[in-house]
């Protein structure tokens, strides 16, 4: 299988670290011109340089903007007027008792995890449809289906993304543009490492700590370990490619068997 994205421009939000950074590298390896996004110009420039180091000769565009605001999304659209592949990866999460989550925190999670992707999809999708080709991907989570007790505001925001992707796929029906969501399972990112340390302890060796975390706090996982960001990126790159032309309106799982279901 040849995943060739030569000539395509991809925008990956929240791509200075973690899953987003791995997706940026994967798309660059497939030949796409990749825009790396984050809020701070210095951090974005450093992340862009890391992509160029991992993929020599890659065409990487630093694209700093706060896409949680209409102004930031508009600035990004002005910088990148034609986007062929939009990966709405930006997201925040954190553990908090359900009864202590304030209205402001609920709104903040929706602004970041849901509305940022809605705004950019609304901006990029019409151009994709006019050109007759495009890919929009929303990076969701197993928490969209298995709502975690310790962070229901995060889980519910990811549930919303599944509906957002399905709805926009209907808006793009018959145009040559596909819109999907990716249900990522428990993945080794900096934030998740911090969560593991909170739950297991700061001094436990990492391999032992992550397996203890999965055993005690994510026992549904069939993988029995955290997923590496590149493993999420592999699926995103495939869904971004011409080979995934018949997959749209779908919630595609790369969750290590975490969701106890035989259908997505």
Region 213-238: mean pLDDT is 95
**What is the CB neighbour count within 10 angstroms for residue 59?**
15
pLDDT tops 90 at residue 15: yes
pTM assigned to the model: 0.95
Task: Please indicate whether residue 258 is annotated as part of the active site.
Answer: no
Contacts by residues 195-201 (CB-CB < 8 Å, ≥ 24 positions apart): 195/95, 196/226, 198/95
Element (H, E) at 255: none
- 3-state secondary structure at position 147: coil
Q: How far apart are CA 6 and CA 30, in angstroms?
A: 7
The domains of the chain, with CATH numbers, are 9-187+227-254 (3.40.50.720)
pLDDT of residue 138: 98
126 vs 192: which has the higher pLDDT: 126
Q: How far apart are CA 183 and CA 186, in angstroms?
A: 10
At residue 206's C-alpha, the angle toward residues 204 and 210, to 5°, is 100
List the alpha helices (DSSP H) in the chain.
18-29, 41-54, 70-79, 103-110, 116-131, 152-171, 190-200, 206-217, 229-240
pLDDT of residue 195: 85
At residue 81's C-alpha, the angle toward residues 251 and 252, to 5°, is 10
91 vs 191: which has the higher pLDDT: 91
164-211 residue pLDDT tens: 999 999 999 999 999 999 999 999 998 889 889 999 999 999 999 999
**What is the CB neighbour count within 10 angstroms for residue 122?**
13
Residue 6's pLDDT band (cuts 50, 70, 90) = very high
pLDDT of residue 5: 98
pLDDT of residue 128: 98
Q: Which of 109, 154, 238, 258 is catalytic?
A: 154
34-85 residue pLDDT tens: 999 999 999 999 999 999 999 999 999 999 999 999 999 999 999 999 999 9
Locus of tokens 């700590």? 209
pLDDT tops 80 at residue 264: no
141-170 residue pLDDT tens: 999 999 999 899 999 999 999 999 999 999
Angle, helix 18-29 to helix 41-54, in steps of 10 degrees: 40
Q: How far apart are CA 76 and CA 217, in angstroms?
A: 38
């Amino acid at each position: 299988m040849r995943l060739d994205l030569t000539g395509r421009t991809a925008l990956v939000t929240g791509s200075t670290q973690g899953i987003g950074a791995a997706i940026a590298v994967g798309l660059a390896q497939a030949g796409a011109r990749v825009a790396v996004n984050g809020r701070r110009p210095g951090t974005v420039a450093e992340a862009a340089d890391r992509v160029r180091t991992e993929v020599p000769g890659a065409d990487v565009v630093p694209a700093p903007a706060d896409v949680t605001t209409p102004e930031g999304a508009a600035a990004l659209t002005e910088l990148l007027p034609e986007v062929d592949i939009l990966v709405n990866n930006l997201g925040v999460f954190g553990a908090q008792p359900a009864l202590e989550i304030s209205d402001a925190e609920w709104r903040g999670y929706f602004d970041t995890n849901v509305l940022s992707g809605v705004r950019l999809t609304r901006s990029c999708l019409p151009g994709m449809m006019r050109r007759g080709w495009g890919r929009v991907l929303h990076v969701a989570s197993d928490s969209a289906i298995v709502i975690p007790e310790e962070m229901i505001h995060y889980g519910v925001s990811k549930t919303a993304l599944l509906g957002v992707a399905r709805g926009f796929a209907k808006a793009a029906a018959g145009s040559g543009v596909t819109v999907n969501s990716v249900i990522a399972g428990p993945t080794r990112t900096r934030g998740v490492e911090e969560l593991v340390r909170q739950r297991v302890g700061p001094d436990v060796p990492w391999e032992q700590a992550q397996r203890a975390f999965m055993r005690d706090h994510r026992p549904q996982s069939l993988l029995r370990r955290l997923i590496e960001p590149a493993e999420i990126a592999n699926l995103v790159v495939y869904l971004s490619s011409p080979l995934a032309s018949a997959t749209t309106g779908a919630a595609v799982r790369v969750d290590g068997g975490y969701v106890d279901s035989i259908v997505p």
